[in-house]
Structure 1
């Protein structure tokens, strides 16, 4: 190696900064692993359906039903980690600009609104599960009770509610 060349490790900078998780009681790895497993399940189901469709000109009717269910799980688990890691959708120039006191106030207002939304979502989706259970609705493709699918919405909305409440608690505690 000539004296002009630098080792590759010293030249290459990381493309993405390392994400450091904030301190939480329940590790974010729980939601991360659920998201990874659900995404792998979605890929597998879709792959199987494509192969069957290619080989037989038919399709499994149940794959769409399961895929929609898994997409809801994926959205909720990934949403929970996005809130905790402060990677949710927002106008960063506005939310991250200005003096620290203003940013803190905006974070408190934003997280309070999100908390209210997920409390309501937990309650209302819980009522939907109760209705599905009471009326005995079944899914169109597989014929299993609908509440098998819908029961996860209030559970995961409740998990996001707890995550956002923890963020809000830390914001209020650290500001004093």
Structure 2
């Protein structure tokens, strides 16, 4: 005879489900943009493989469009990675120490990210203006290259705005009780 088993109580997950931080502009914008870009990239690449397999020819425009889509996809993914705190960092430094130290390091690192993306925004705007003024065209399709380049300053500016929001949230977040009294500046 088998013994009746005791009811199993639900176990809390070791890693709790993460929730997105409260932001004014929904992160779903970048999420859906990434999904659409990745699907478009997969379809274009698949069609190019089929055409190459059956005709021994290739669509010349697929590489150009694919590079453009990958750049925008990377920038959209980077934007949500910063907001969700999934970006590359040295966790032994960022997540150790007192809450005050963690806040200071987070403010410093996010300020560096902000400076980089503001600089990238300004320089990429100059690039787009030069491509527009000198009427550069793409080698495969012959369309103006600023059509591709215009998205770099747009996405860099959006990451800058997201980073400003992160810095504001970090600066306004209250420290745990007793933290400020234990440490001296």
Q: Which TM-score applies when normalising by structure 2?
A: 0.87
Give the structure with the larger helix fraction. Answer: 1
Paired with 2:116 and 2:64, the residues of 1 have a C-alpha distance of 26
Secondary structure in structure 2 of the residue aligned to 1:21: coil
CA drift of 1:19 comes to: 2.5
**C-alpha deviations, 1:3-38, integer Å up to 9, x for none?**
43978xx58x87975220001000000000000000
> Structure 1 runs of 4+ off > 3 angstroms?
2-7, 13-17
**C-alpha deviations, 1:67-88, integer Å up to 9, x for none?**
0000000000000000000000
What are the ranges of 5 or more consecutive residues in structure 2 without an aligned counterpart?
A: 176-185
What is the aligned-residue RMSD (CA, Å)? Answer: 2.1
Secondary structure in structure 2 of the residue aligned to 1:130: helix
Aligned length: 173
Q: Does 1:115 align with 2:152?
A: no
CA drift of 1:116 comes to: 0.3
Structure exhibiting the larger radius of gyration computed from Cα positions: 2
- 1:50 is aligned to 49
CA drift of 1:91 comes to: 1.2
Q: Which TM-score applies when normalising by structure 1?
A: 0.91
Secondary structure in structure 1 of the residue aligned to 2:21: coil
Secondary structure in structure 2 of the residue aligned to 1:86: coil
CA drift of 1:121 comes to: 0.3
What are the ranges of 5 or more consecutive residues in structure 1 without an aligned counterpart?
A: none
- 1:60 is aligned to 59
